[in-house]
Structure 1
Amino acid sequence: MQLLSIGQIVLIYSGLLRLCLGHNHSQPRVDQAQTPISKLAFTSEIPLSTRVYWMRQAILALGHPCPCAPFGTAIVNHTANSGLGELICTGANSKGLTGNPILHGEIAAINNCTQILTDPSGPYKLSPQQALAAFADLSLYTNAESCPMCASAVRFAGFREYVYGTSIDTLIGYGWEQIQISSAEVFHRSTGLPSSSMLIGDVLANETDPLFAWQSEPDYQCPRGCSRVEGWCEADVVGVGLYQAPMLAHGEGPGYLV
């Protein structure tokens, strides 16, 4: 076996870092014009414990303990029953897997839900028009604040709720390349749409933040279930490979590409 030189290892690590982050900033960039979430007068009767449960399901949608782009989403129907609610589908960032540059976790989940809701042999069997109307009863959970594209998709879909974990400002601080427009600003500028959506931020950020910190910080602890291998976090479990975006209904497990 031919061993890699230090220079080759550095080049490989740099390439992986570029793939994950897009661009690594030496100093955090914070958009001072963003509208603070605290100014949004949104409330909800759903308990925090339920929010935490579904945010963890959004993390589990990744199907891997430490993917390089760990953006996961779960879409839930809280109107289905008085308990936790019903999981409709999940999705995860699949740009690197598919070559589709806009297949962020939220977009993947919306695509998956659309297919599940309209599947003639599935549990819902909705028409396209019924599926469009159904989004008004659904809540989207994502482990990181949506980019403006995905936040706009949330509003155009007319979701009942949009809940995120890690903020855009935190992502920027970790070196992730972001368009500096907050979800709050997108929501404030979408009053011309016929529907309204509740926005809830910073849910379980203490668990979501570490998923995005290790990629640009060589000394940062890997997420649980992963260890550093030549400077990169890799899964401890043998056989867990690249994430394969699942299209999950309630009770199904994630998929892997080994």
Structure 2
Amino acid sequence: MLGAIIATLFLGAFAFADVRTTLARPDAAINSIPFSTRAFWMRQVNAILVQSGSPCPFSAFASVIVNHTAPGLGTLVCTGVNSNRQTGDPTLHGEIAAIQNCSKVLTDPAGEFRFTPTQALNAFSQLSLYTNAESCSMCASAIRWSSFREYIFGTSIETLITAGWGQIRISSFEVFQQSFELPSPARLLGNVLTNETDPLLTWQFNPDAPCPSGCARTRTGSCGPSLV
């Protein structure tokens, strides 16, 4: 089983704690988007990590932002990977990097969209953010402030904590639940394709955990590209 989808619909501003929660089958269509499409984009998130140089990066957190108002699978607008080690910016998680990259893409005067700043801000309400792990409270709040139509994650915060990752123990559900005064509705889909996202994030602090596909344990105990 590919992991349950948790669908949470928040019904706009001033609907005091008006939250509807449903549990859907993994193959259920949410917002008329089938699970096969969700799986495609979650795999694109994981593929970005491999393209960054290793099939088993240590900070294996990444995001893609998709326009599902386009036909078919939708279209990719921008991507982001956890870059705090590369930049020295402790806030530059994959979701923040993706949001910043999208702002640049949407407002690029020589780009496809050429939006004004106001148009770019409004465009986020038509976009979906996919991330391979549940966002920390900082990123979940940024997602809500950005007014995304949808936020889809793979591995849960509970799984990250069990695997040894330090986390602020506030779930995305809690952040969304307390954001009912924001004017934009949003839908939260969780635990999508965890059989493929969990292996990327559960080996780092457990020397007995299997390495992701294409990797093997090194002499230092880390996971590195397999030579076989």
The answer to whether the superposition gives a TM-score over 0.5 is: yes
Establish whether residue 46 from structure 1 lines up as the match of residue 33 from structure 2.
yes
Establish whether residue 148 from structure 1 lines up as the match of residue 142 from structure 2.
no
2:44 maps to amino acid: Q
The answer as to whether partners of 2:134 and 2:157 remain within 8 angstroms in 1 is yes
Q: TM-score, normalised by structure 2?
A: 0.84
The answer as to whether partners of 2:7 and 2:187 remain within 8 angstroms in 1 is no
- Relative to its length, the structure with more strand (as a share) is 2
CA shift for structure 1 position 59: 1.1
Give SS of 1:61's match.
helix
CA shift for structure 1 position 52: 0.2
1:111 maps to amino acid: Q
Give SS of 2:224's match.
strand
Q: Distance in 2 between matches of 1:44 and 1:88?
A: 19
CA shift for structure 1 position 219: 1.9
Question: Over residues 37-90 of structure 1, what are the superposed CA-to-partner deviations in whole Å (9 max), with x where a residue is unaligned?
Answer: 787248432000000000011111222311111001010000022x00000011
Question: Over residues 2-59 of structure 1, what are the superposed CA-to-partner deviations in whole Å (9 max), with x where a residue is unaligned?
Answer: xxxxxxxxxxxxxxxxxxxxxxxxxxxxxxxxxx878724843200000000001111
- Correspondence for 2:64: 74
Q: Distance in 1 between matches of 2:115 and 2:194?
A: 35
Establish whether residue 235 from structure 1 lines up as the match of residue 228 from structure 2.
no
The match for 2:206 among 197, 217, 230 is: 217
Question: Over residues 85-136 of structure 1, what are the superposed CA-to-partner deviations in whole Å (9 max), with x where a residue is unaligned?
Answer: 0000110101111110000000000001110111111111111110000001
1:118-137 to structure 2, matched below 5 A, reads 118-137=107-126
Q: Distance in 1 between matches of 2:208 and 2:171?
A: 29
Give SS of 2:119's match.
helix
Q: Distance in 1 between matches of 2:120 and 2:178?
A: 25
What value does the CA root-mean-square deviation take over the aligned residues?
1.6
Identity %: 57
2:66 maps to amino acid: V
Q: TM-score, normalised by structure 1?
A: 0.75
Q: Distance in 2 between matches of 1:154 and 1:41?
A: 21
CA shift for structure 1 position 220: 1.5
Unmatched runs of 5 consecutive residues or more in structure 2: 1-5, 9-19, 24-29
Q: Distance in 1 between matches of 2:159 and 2:202?
A: 9
The match for 1:65 among 55, 59, 64 is: 55
